[in-house]
Structure 1
Amino acid sequence: MPDTIKAWEGLAHRAPTAKAPPVVPGREFAAPPTDIDEPEPMDAAELDGLDLEGLTLGILYRKASGEESQRRVTLHRMKVSKGPALFIACFCHERQANRT
């Protein structure tokens, strides 16, 4: 657990303080009122080792319940974990919070 806390402390200073990136025309990014589910695993071996820190993306997020929302996130780091799972640490501009 201490390593997890250390990791979040390290990310906290990198959270964006400037205004959020602009919304892409024709795309609506909105988060549902609650968001506590873990991300689903995906095959991402080809992304392992790429330096994508600071990259801002638009993603489609799907909760385990099937509810979908579009999000703008700025990546802190990505790592392939066991199997095809991808670990993403990022800042979500819709939630105004760090997310994993």
Structure 2
Amino acid sequence: MEISKQEVEKVAALARLLVSDGEKEMFAKQLSQILTHVEKLDQYDTKGVEPASTVFGQVNVFRDDVARPSLPVEQALANAPEREADGFAVPKIIE
């Protein structure tokens, strides 16, 4: 499937992206290649294959949440540009 430069311009406008002429040509070529590859996948018979949202056999890879001592306040604030008595000083940006 061939994606035109005009179609890339339309999608860029919808996404409110500013793209140069060179980028439009590059994106048109890349998107065309992706869609061509997806079209090749249609040749495979997937009848009877259950849809899956994850890889089978995947297990939780997170470590256990164990409470540990944290940094002392003085060490945590050692490189802060500005400080208050109990933490970082953040400039007010909302009036």
Q: Which band: TM-score by shorter chain?
A: under 0.3
Structure with greater helix percent: 2
Structure with bigger RCO (C-alpha 8 Å, 6+ apart)? 1
- Provide TM-score, normalisation by structure 2: 0.20
Which is strand-richer, 1 or 2?
1
